Amino acid sequence: MKTILITGATAGFGEAAARKFVSGGWRAIGTGRRGDRLKKLQDELGDNFLPLEIDMRDVPAVESLARLGTPWGDIDLLLNNAGLAPPTDPLPETDWERVETVIDTNITGLVALTRVLLPKLVERKGQIINLSSVAATYPYKGGAIYAGTKAFVRQFSLDLRCDLAGTGVRVTSVEPGMAETEFTLVRTGGDKEASEKLYAGMNPMTPQDHADLFWWLANLPPHLNINSIELMPVTQSWAGFAINREA
């Protein structure tokens, strides 16, 4: 039986991935700050789901994941999914604590976890799937901090492949566009109306679309590495450059 570690399993992509992998016969460890949600997921998924309440900003807690014993510690796939965005307000108006939370979660926590799990992943010829975003490639107003963190994740993923050459470990940067999860609710500080309005009538991608993608990546033949994969709903595209003219 294979084991996946999913960060951010309390909502969105991570929660859907936990369901997909456990129902597909894997053991899944799911982390997040909301222990009540993890407990509920365990009630639903049973003994093949291990809930661990961990804040990605707490580096010693994150590093403790490398000390799990057999069988939970025998991790074959690390799904670095936990992440969030600050509001799209101009940077000077964005609260520093929110900026710091995003950088600490999306970058520091992800790197700390990957670093301590690499020896195990090498031993098991495992796999890493990192959640980047289309924001890593295409700029938009108010996206600087979030996009910067996701550009880090994308480049970190590609560079890791160089360090892992010859080990058999696979690394993929997954770069989605708009998917309806709690992402916008979190980004707007809990504004349900704003979140619903953003996704209304545009047929966004879903958590299930992403769980299916992770499953596909996990089940590819071991000689094949998808370096990066970018996906969007058909309704999302680009708006071009903005040009400001002198009056």
Residues that bind ligand NDP in the complex, under the rule CB under 6 A: 8-14, 32-34, 55-57, 81-84, 105, 131, 133, 176, 178-179, 181-183, 186
Contacts to ligand 8X3 from residues 70-109, by CB under 6 A: none
Active site annotation includes 138: no
**27, 9 Cβ separation under 8 angstroms:** no
For residues 48 and 101, which CB has a smaller minimum distance to ligand 8X3 in the complex? 101
**41, 49 Cβ separation under 8 angstroms:** yes
| Torsion sign across C-alpha atoms 120, 122, 124, 127 | positive
Structure-block tokens of residue 127: 């796999």
Residues near ligand 8X3 (CB under 6 A), total: 5
Among 133, 172, 173, 195, binds ligand 8X3 (CB under 6 A): 133
**23, 2 Cβ separation under 8 angstroms:** no
For residues 29 and 85, which CB has a smaller minimum distance to ligand 8X3 in the complex? 85
Give the Cα-Cα-Cα angle 134, 125, 108 (nearest 5 degrees): 45
Would you count residue 178 as binding ligand 8X3 (CB under 6 A)?
yes
Would you count residue 148 as binding ligand 8X3 (CB under 6 A)?
no
Binding site for ligand 8X3 (CB under 6 A): 133-135, 177-178
Q: Any idea which residues carry the catalytic annotation? A: 146
